[in-house]
Structure 1
Amino acid sequence: MIKEDIKQLILFDGICNFCNSTVNFIIKKDKKDQFKFASLQSALGQTFIHKLPSNTDSIVYIRNKQVLIKSTAALYIAQDLGYPYKLLAIFKFLPTSWRDCCYDYIAKNRYRWFGKKDHCEIPSAQNRKKFIS
């Protein structure tokens, strides 16, 4: 399934413009080259999505074999990006239900606000090594 040397894998909605922009941002800011990516629409993404709650459709973060979703995933990604993004980790102290309510609102409206593609974006040649199919 996932190679043992992959410690941090982000699964994302490959047809979502907002999600793709977020992935491109993470790649740009990932100075430690620690993150790998796969779309939820990929074979790897589908193996995970079937094991998660049915409303998980926008982000999954596998961090050291721990599966994180929604706002918790986003906050841990920010934390792992380092300073200044790790400062967002302060929001982990809010109840998960509150954080996920905000997250769900954005996720529910992401196609309307940011649009979507007909198919998953193909990564550039320089970023291709960051993606797992």
Structure 2
Amino acid sequence: MTTEISVNLKDKFIVFFDGECGFCNHWVQWILERDKKDKFLFSSLQSEFGQNFLTDRNLPNKVFDTLYLWKPERFYLSKYQAILKIAAEIGGIYSLASVGKILPDFVGNQFYNLVSRNRKKLADNQCFLPNAEQRKKFIEK
């Protein structure tokens, strides 16, 4: 099954995250609160849309320990590079994260993997309940 791209998605960045992880949900909230330019949409990796994204790219679709950032018809990034790009797109003081580009990807990804392995210990699993305006930014199908 191919992921369908509607016209309005082409100009957005889509953040794919583990929808069952409290730590991941915390960072989704963080992005939502700072996305003043309305650049981001979100989809859990467990959703139909998320599963299609993974399947279309032959990516693992049962283990959800990686964040993906997708710009439809352009690129997708994972792990450390995705975090740097999100910070750059949010802008302002968060643009300073681009200094992290001086690290080789394998070093940044090793740090990402360390956090990912311990993420369930770093945050509780309380459910994030987006408000009506924020719900518009979530893609399920």
TM-score of the superposed pair, with normalisation by structure 1 = 0.88
Taking the aligned partners of 1:52 and 1:114, their CA distance within structure 2 comes to 30
Structure 1 contact 14–121 (Cα < 8 Å) conserved: no
Amino acid at match of 1:16: C
Task: After superposition, give the CA deviation of every residue in 1:20-71 in whole Å (9 maximum; x if it has no partner).
Answer: 1111111111110111111111001111223254466331000353010000
Structure 1 contact 9–63 (Cα < 8 Å) conserved: yes
Taking the aligned partners of 1:130 and 1:52, their CA distance within structure 2 comes to 25
Taking the aligned partners of 2:48 and 2:59, their CA distance within structure 1 comes to 18
Map 1:1-133; keep pairs closer than 5 Å. Answer: 1-6=4-9, 7-50=12-55, 51=57, 53-54=59-60, 57-63=65-71, 65-116=74-125, 121-133=128-140
Q: Extract unaligned runs of 5+ from structure 2.
A: none
The SS at the match of 2:8 is coil
Q: Which moved more, 1:1-10 or 1:15-24?
A: 1-10
Q: Extract unaligned runs of 5+ from structure 1.
A: none
Aligned-pair identity (%): 37
Amino acid at match of 1:70: K
Structure 2 contact 17–64 (Cα < 8 Å) conserved: no
Taking the aligned partners of 2:58 and 2:88, their CA distance within structure 1 comes to 23
Taking the aligned partners of 1:113 and 1:128, their CA distance within structure 2 comes to 25
Taking the aligned partners of 2:58 and 2:84, their CA distance within structure 1 comes to 19
The SS at the match of 1:130 is coil
Taking the aligned partners of 1:69 and 1:2, their CA distance within structure 2 comes to 20
Alpha-carbon distance change, 18 to 59 in structure 1, aligned in 2, over 3 angstroms: same
Taking the aligned partners of 1:4 and 1:93, their CA distance within structure 2 comes to 35
Give the 4+ runs in structure 1 shifted more than 2 A.
49-58, 120-124
